[in-house]
């Protein structure tokens, strides 16, 4: 008598997740100035030395440098990276006239701006 065991596992379907971020950092950053120039409410913002938390279960942290951070997660519907990136671009630079004030602020305060795009999910999706 032969015994045979067969194990089959269904392929786990990973959800596709996408978002885009825009971050301004620097020791001289005043979050309200960035908010005023961009006219966007940040996802997270704090000045150097400020106390802040990154979530309800997070301990209180102290900013080593100033950060103004905006993320499209939960704002842009869907998970097409292109949609998130385009939304971010139209919010940060809605037109040519918007570039000057942001550049001036970055230079005057020695701030650094970085945009990132994230995509997670199975290949080919």
Which tokens in the block code for residue 110?
Answer: 């020695």
Domains in the chain, number? 1
Q: Would residue 9 count as lying in a domain?
A: no
Q: Would residue 52 count as lying in a domain?
A: yes
Tell me what pLDDT residue 13 has.
64
Tell me what pLDDT residue 83 has.
96
- State the DSSP H helix or E strand holding residue 99, giving kind and residue range, or none if neither: helix 99-108
Those residues whose C-beta lies under 8 Å from the C-beta of residue 75, and which sit 6 or more positions away, are 87
**Structural domain boundaries enclosing 30:** 17-120
Tell me what pLDDT residue 11 has.
54
Tell me what pLDDT residue 7 has.
53
Tell me what pLDDT residue 82 has.
95
Cα end-to-end span (Å), the chain: 46
Q: Profile the chain (125 residues) by mean pLDDT over runs of 10 residues.
A: 52 79 98 95 96 88 95 94 94 80 94 94 77
Q: Would residue 109 count as lying in a domain?
A: yes
Q: Would residue 114 count as lying in a domain?
A: yes
The CATH number of the domain where 53 resides is what?
Answer: 3.30.70
Is the distance from CB of 18 to CB of 111 less than 8 angstroms? no
Those residues whose C-beta lies under 8 Å from the C-beta of residue 25, and which sit 6 or more positions away, are 65, 66, 67, 68, 111, 112, 114
Tell me what pLDDT residue 2 has.
53
Q: Would residue 7 count as lying in a domain?
A: no
Residues in a beta bridge with 22: 70, 115
Q: Would residue 4 count as lying in a domain?
A: no
């Amino acid at each position: 008598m032969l015994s045979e065991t067969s194990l089959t596992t269904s392929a786990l379907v990973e959800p596709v997740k996408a978002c885009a971020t825009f971050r301004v950092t620097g020791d001289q950053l005043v979050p309200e100035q960035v908010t005023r120039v961009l006219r966007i409410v940040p996802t997270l913002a704090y000045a150097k030395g400020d106390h802040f938390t990154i979530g309800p279960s997070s301990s209180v942290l102290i900013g080593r440098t100033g950060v103004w951070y905006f993320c499209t997660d939960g704002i842009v519907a869907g998970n097409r990276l292109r949609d998130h990136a385009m939304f971010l671009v139209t919010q940060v630079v809605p037109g040519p006239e918007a570039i000057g004030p942001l550049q001036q602020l970055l230079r005057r305060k020695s701030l650094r701006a970085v945009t990132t795009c994230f995509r997670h999910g199975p290949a080919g999706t």
